[in-house]
Structure formats: structure tokens, C-alpha cells
Amino acid sequence: MRSKSKILPVILAAILLLIAAVIGYVQAGNKPQMPVRILFENTGGKVIFSHLTHHRDYQIDCAKCHHDKKQMELSENDEALACGSCHPNEFNEDFIVDHVDSFPDETYCVRCHHTEYGEVIFDHEEHKDYASDCYDCHHGKEIEPEPQNCANCHKGEDSGDLISMRLAGHESCGSCHEDMFDKGLSSCKSCHVAVDMTQYEGDYTSCDSCHESEIRELVLPRMNAFHDQCMSCHEEMGAGPYGPDNCNQCHISR
Ligand code: HEC
Ligand code: HEC
Ligand code: HEC
Ligand code: HEC
Ligand code: HEC
Ligand code: HEC
Ligand code: HEC
Ligand code: HEC
Ligand code: HEC
Ligand code: HEC
């Protein structure tokens, strides 16, 4: 015959386990879950990506794929940004408006908005000696009655005959300093002081004010970001689908 004293601890243990399970369930519900599988629906045909398998079984660190954080240990309960918040289909008006709110904080901005220019290095007094007279740089009386700040007339944008301040500066300084423009972007720092972006609080300059390249050459668009990351790892490890003949191993329907 069973004594009550043997059943009671079992019941108590069961109740405790149940409470623990409920607490665990509720707590887990508060955290963003690491998806087990991800379905991508796209014009190339659906792709099912076994997310957990890649991490757990193929032993790939989160940070190898999620390079959106300063590289720290991530566990299965950690958050990660969707790739599309940085690698959209199009860098159009929608992206420009929406992307500003897709990051947890401002430390993310610096990854792309990596530099801004502050003061221009220019010693006016010394330059008076370098030039033969004031009109090497200033216009004659017909345009500039008195030598004065260029920005009194030249503004942020071109307007009619009046070129922007940027062009006015570059053209005028460049008439003696052609060499300072020779090495593409890396020569800009001969005149422009770069701002420390970790402290920066101003507006962001559009990429093409400094770069002549298209934005999609600077930040990978969505399809390229996925193809590049998925396939270059498969190729590197000699495992998983890559190459021109294996599209159907990822794209299961068309
Ligand atoms: C092999 C690459 C890879 C590994 C390893 C990986 N992930 Fe992911 N993860 C992805 C991709 C791709 C997505 C889909 C993102 C999207 O849809 O834009 C994703 C999505 C996520 C999401 C959902 C993001 C969202 O808002 O849609 C979370 C959270 C996440 N991963 C966390 C993790 C964590 C934590 C780890 C490590 C334990 C990890 N991932 C390991 C590639 C990976
Ligand atoms: C917070 C913004 C951000 C997120 C989120 C993000 N990326 Fe990127 N990614 C970038 C930037 C910026 C670059 C440009 C080069 C750099 O800084 O590494 C880049 C570069 C890349 C490259 C080029 C090669 C390399 O590794 O440098 C690939 C591929 C890529 N991302 C894929 C992905 C995938 C896949 C995801 C989601 C799992 C993702 N990215 C999430 C910002 C992001
Ligand atoms: C090498 C080109 C150059 C030469 C030579 C030059 N200037 Fe200038 N000057 C400039 C630039 C550029 C500015 C605008 C400076 C700025 O915004 O800091 C300027 C600004 C000025 C200003 C307005 C300054 C202020 O703070 O309001 C005066 C006045 C001026 N120059 C007078 C002269 C006179 C007089 C001479 C001749 C003795 C002369 N400049 C020679 C390029 C030059
Ligand atoms: C009072 C207004 C005014 C000021 C101040 C002024 N500009 Fe101009 N700038 C003009 C106008 C107007 C034109 C267009 C002239 C034309 O097309 O003939 C012009 C044209 C130019 C051009 C292109 C044509 C050329 O002359 O080579 C350059 C470069 C230029 N400015 C540089 C400067 C610089 C550098 C300063 C300051 C040192 C300056 N400007 C100050 C009004 C001004
Ligand atoms: C009339 C010719 C002339 C013009 C126009 C001119 N500079 Fe200069 N600049 C010189 C000379 C000459 C020197 C001293 C020798 C040298 O370092 O090349 C100099 C020196 C400099 C230096 C210091 C370079 C160093 O390596 O230390 C800077 C920075 C500079 N200029 C910026 C400018 C800027 C910005 C403008 C346009 C607003 C400008 N200069 C316009 C002739 C000019
Ligand atoms: C020889 C000196 C010099 C060099 C080299 C130079 N700049 Fe400039 N830059 C100037 C001057 C002067 C201005 C006008 C200053 C102002 O707006 O007050 C200017 C203005 C600009 C502006 C507009 C800033 C604004 O606030 O509107 C941009 C953007 C810019 N430069 C980008 C570049 C890039 C990119 C490079 C390298 C490819 C470069 N500059 C190289 C002298 C230079
Ligand atoms: C993945 C790269 C990336 C990240 C991260 C990013 N941006 Fe951008 N941002 C861009 C691109 C690309 C544009 C389009 C700019 C262009 O046309 O040159 C842009 C444009 C902008 C513009 C409009 C600039 C203009 O006048 O053309 C603002 C403002 C801006 N971003 C703010 C932010 C802020 C704030 C953050 C962080 C919360 C941020 N961005 C994070 C890539 C990024
Ligand atoms: C104020 C000027 C400026 C702005 C604005 C700017 N960049 Fe750059 N960027 C540079 C300079 C300068 C370099 C080269 C640095 C060097 O060579 O030391 C560079 C380099 C890069 C590179 C490395 C590859 C290359 O082309 O050399 C990438 C990627 C890049 N920028 C992306 C961006 C993106 C994306 C934006 C807009 C969100 C942006 N940049 C805005 C000045 C700028
Ligand atoms: C950092 C490396 C890495 C990245 C990034 C990566 N994979 Fe893989 N993938 C692997 C490895 C390792 C295997 C294992 C192959 C095996 O064991 O045969 C694999 C296998 C696969 C397989 C076949 C087996 C399975 O698990 O389904 C598919 C499909 C696959 N990956 C899709 C993707 C997709 C889609 C992406 C991008 C969203 C991606 N992978 C990103 C390393 C990676
Ligand atoms: C390793 C897995 C993998 C392989 C192999 C692969 N893809 Fe993809 N492909 C993806 C993923 C992931 C996406 C992104 C899905 C999304 O945007 O949601 C994608 C997106 C696409 C898109 C959609 C573009 C859009 O904007 O809708 C096309 C088209 C495409 N792939 C064609 C191909 C072709 C053609 C091949 C063979 C040469 C190929 N893919 C091989 C994983 C793969």
C-alpha cells in the first residue's frame, strides 16, 4: 500500500515544475525569438532558410552573418536587425524616410554615414603672400564691389549662373592646388577636417555629395546582400549550394 508521505513530494515537485515552466514560458515570450526557419518570398522563387541549423549544427556564430552590431557574443535570445533595414530592394524615397527609424540607436548611423566635413583648412593671411593680388581669388569690382566672404553670394546649391559654394571653392582653390585633387577621395583631407562621428549630432550629408558612385555600389542591395553572404560562405566551406547551376537548391518554387 502507498503512503501519502510518498505521493505528496511528487505532487509538490510536479507543481513546482509547472510553475517554473509557466514562468519560463512567459519570460521567453518577452524576448524576440531567434527564428528557427525563415521563409523568403521573392521573384526568384521561395527560399526556406534553416536558421537554427546554420547556427547550431553548422556551428556558425551569429556575428558572422549579423554584422549589424559591434561584434559581441550573441546568444539565441538576442535581437538582430533584419538585413533589409540596411540592404533594401531600392534606395528610394521610402528607404530614405523609413531607414532612420529602423535602428535601435544612433550608433548604427555611423556604419554608413561614416564621415562629415567640418571647417576647411585655409589660412587667409598667409595666402595673401602666396598670391600676386587679392583678385587671384576675389572677383573684380564688377562682381564683388569689395573683397568679401564668398558665401555672401555662393550658396549650398547652384542657381542660374551662380555656382554652389562647393564648386566655387573647389574651382578657385584648385587653380593653384590641382595636386590636392589628384588622389580621389583620399585627397579631400588636405583641406577638409573630418568630424569625429561618434560625437556627431548634426544633419547627414547625402552620400553622393562626396562619392560619385551610385549608392547601390556603396551599400549592397537586398538580393546581392543575401546571394553574396549565403553563397560566398558555401563556396568558402565547400558546403551548401552556390554557383550558377544550384539556384534550385535554395529557390524551391518558381
Ligand atoms: C548563416 C547566417 C546566420 C546565422 C549564423 C544567424 N543568423 Fe539570424 N538571421 C539570418 C538571416 C539571413 C535572417 C533573416 C533576416 C531578414 O529577413 O532580413 C536572420 C534573422 C534573425 C532574426 C530575426 C530578425 C528580424 O527582425 O527579422 C533574429 C532575432 C536573429 N536572426 C538572431 C540570430 C541569433 C541570435 C543568432 C546566433 C545565435 C543568429 N541569428 C545566427 C542569418 C543568420
Ligand atoms: C545595421 C545595418 C546592416 C545590417 C542590419 C546588415 N548589414 Fe550587411 N552591410 C552593412 C554595411 C554598412 C555594409 C558595407 C560594408 C561594411 O561596413 O561591412 C554591409 C556589407 C554587407 C555585405 C558585403 C560583404 C561584407 O560582409 O562586408 C554582405 C554580403 C552583407 N552586408 C549581407 C548582410 C546580411 C545577409 C545581413 C542580415 C543577416 C546584413 N548584411 C545585415 C550594413 C548592414
Ligand atoms: C588664395 C585666395 C585668396 C586671396 C589671395 C585673398 N582672399 Fe580674401 N578670401 C578668400 C576666401 C576663400 C575667403 C572666404 C573665407 C572664409 O569664408 O573663411 C576670403 C574672405 C575675405 C574677406 C572676408 C573676411 C571676413 O572675415 O569677413 C575679406 C575682407 C577678404 N577676403 C579680403 C581680401 C583681401 C583684401 C585680399 C588681398 C590682400 C584677399 N582677400 C586675398 C580667398 C582669398
Ligand atoms: C557679390 C557676389 C559674389 C561673391 C562675394 C563671390 N562671387 Fe564668385 N561669382 C559670383 C557671380 C555672379 C558669378 C558668375 C559670374 C559669371 O558667370 O560671369 C561667380 C562665379 C564664380 C566662379 C566661376 C566663374 C569664375 O569666375 O571662375 C568661381 C570659381 C567663383 N565665383 C569663386 C568665388 C570665390 C572663391 C569667392 C570668394 C573668394 C567668390 N566667388 C565670391 C558672385 C560672387
Ligand atoms: C594663388 C594660388 C593659391 C590659391 C588660389 C590657393 N592656395 Fe592654398 N596655398 C598656396 C601656396 C603657394 C601654398 C604654400 C605652399 C604649399 O604648401 O603648396 C598654399 C598652402 C595651402 C595649404 C597648406 C598646405 C600644406 O601642406 O601645409 C592649405 C591647406 C591650402 N593652401 C588651402 C587652400 C584653400 C582651401 C584654398 C581655396 C580657398 C587655397 N588654398 C587657394 C597657393 C594657393
Ligand atoms: C584645396 C582644398 C579643397 C580640397 C582638396 C577639397 N575641398 Fe571640398 N571644399 C573646399 C572649399 C574651400 C569649400 C567651400 C567651403 C564652404 O562651403 O565654406 C569646399 C566645400 C565642399 C563641400 C560642401 C560643404 C558644404 O558644407 O556645403 C563638399 C561636400 C566638399 N567640399 C567635398 C569635397 C570632397 C569630396 C573632396 C575630395 C574629392 C574635396 N571636397 C576636396 C576646399 C577643398
Ligand atoms: C545601411 C546604411 C545606412 C544606415 C545604417 C543609415 N543610413 Fe541614412 N542613408 C543611407 C543612404 C544610402 C541614404 C541615401 C542618401 C543619399 O541619397 O545619398 C541615407 C540618407 C539619409 C538621410 C537623408 C540625407 C539627405 O539629405 O540626402 C538622413 C537624414 C539619414 N540618412 C539619417 C540617418 C540616421 C539618423 C541613421 C541612424 C539612425 C541612418 N541614416 C542610418 C544609408 C544609411
Ligand atoms: C563628407 C564626405 C563623405 C560622405 C558624405 C560619405 N562618404 Fe563614404 N567616403 C568618404 C571618403 C573621403 C572615403 C575614403 C576614405 C579614405 O580613402 O581614406 C569614403 C569611403 C567610403 C567607402 C569605402 C569604399 C570607397 O568607395 O572608397 C564606402 C563603402 C563608403 N564611403 C560609403 C558611404 C556611404 C554609404 C555614404 C552615405 C550614407 C557615404 N559613404 C558618405 C567620404 C564621404
Ligand atoms: C557562414 C557560412 C554560411 C552562411 C552565411 C550560410 N550558410 Fe547555408 N550552409 C552552410 C554550411 C556549413 C552548410 C552545411 C552543408 C552540409 O553540411 O552539407 C550549409 C547548408 C545549406 C543548405 C543545405 C542544407 C540545409 O541545411 O538546408 C541550404 C539550403 C543553405 N545552406 C541555405 C543558406 C541560405 C539561404 C543562406 C543565406 C540566407 C545561407 N545558407 C547562409 C554555411 C553557411
Ligand atoms: C544559398 C541560397 C541561394 C542560392 C544558391 C540562390 N539564391 Fe537567389 N536568393 C536567395 C535569397 C535568400 C534571396 C532573398 C530573398 C528575399 O529577398 O526575401 C534570393 C533572391 C533572389 C531573387 C529575387 C530578387 C528580388 O528582388 O525579388 C532572384 C531573382 C534570385 N534570387 C535568383 C537566383 C538565381 C538565378 C540563382 C542561381 C544563379 C540563385 N538565386 C541562387 C538565396 C539563394
Residue 110 lies in a domain: no
- The pocket around ligand 8, CB under 6 angstroms, is made up of 112-117, 185-186, 188, 205, 207, 209-211, 218-219
**Range of 126's domain?**
120-194
**Is the CB of residue 166 less than 8 Å from the CB of residue 173?**
no
Residue 244 lies in a domain: no
Residue 140 lies in a domain: yes
Amino acid 104: pLDDT: 87
Amino acid 74: pLDDT: 72
Residue-wise pLDDT tens digits, 70-104: 767 777 778 889 999 999 999 999 999 999 999 98
Ligand 6 centroid to Cα of residue 138, in Å, is 18
Residue from 128, 143, 166, 173 to probe ligand 4 pocket by mutation (most atoms less than 8 Å from CB):
143
For the CA of 148, the closest atom of ligand 4 is: 5
| Direct distance between the N- and C-terminal alpha carbons of the chain, in angstroms, rounded to an integer | 67
Looking at 167, 194, 221, the residue that finishes a domain is 194
Amino acid 11: pLDDT: 60
Amino acid 24: pLDDT: 42
Amino acid 77: pLDDT: 78
Looking at 194, 218, 249, the residue that finishes a domain is 194
- Note the pTM of the prediction, 2 decimals: 0.88
80 lines ligand 6 (CB under 6 A): no
Amino acid 33: pLDDT: 72
Mean pLDDT of the chain: 87
Ligand 5 centroid to Cα of residue 123, in Å, is 8
For the CA of 147, the closest atom of ligand 4 is: 5
Q: What are the φ and ψ backbone dihedral angles of 177, each rounded to 5 degrees?
A: -110, 45
Residue-wise pLDDT tens digits, 27-59: 433 445 789 999 999 999 999 999 999 999 999
Residue 66 lies in a domain: no
Number of domains observed in the structure of the chain: 2
| Dihedral of the alpha carbons of 219, 220, 222, 225, in degrees to the nearest 10 | -130
- The pocket around ligand 10, CB under 6 angstroms, is made up of 40, 42-44, 47, 89, 222-223, 226-227, 230-231, 241-242, 244, 246-247, 249-251
Residue 167 lies in a domain: yes
Q: Atom 40 in ligand 1: which residue has the minimum CA distance? A: 62
Q: Can you give the CATH number for the domain in which 178 is found?
A: 3.90.10.10
Residue 58 lies in a domain: no
Return the percent helix, strand and coil in the chain, to nearest 5: 45, 5, 45
Residue 158 lies in a domain: yes
Residue 154 lies in a domain: yes
Q: Which of 117, 122, 121 is nearest to 200 (CA)?
A: 117
Looking at 139, 170, 194, the residue that finishes a domain is 194
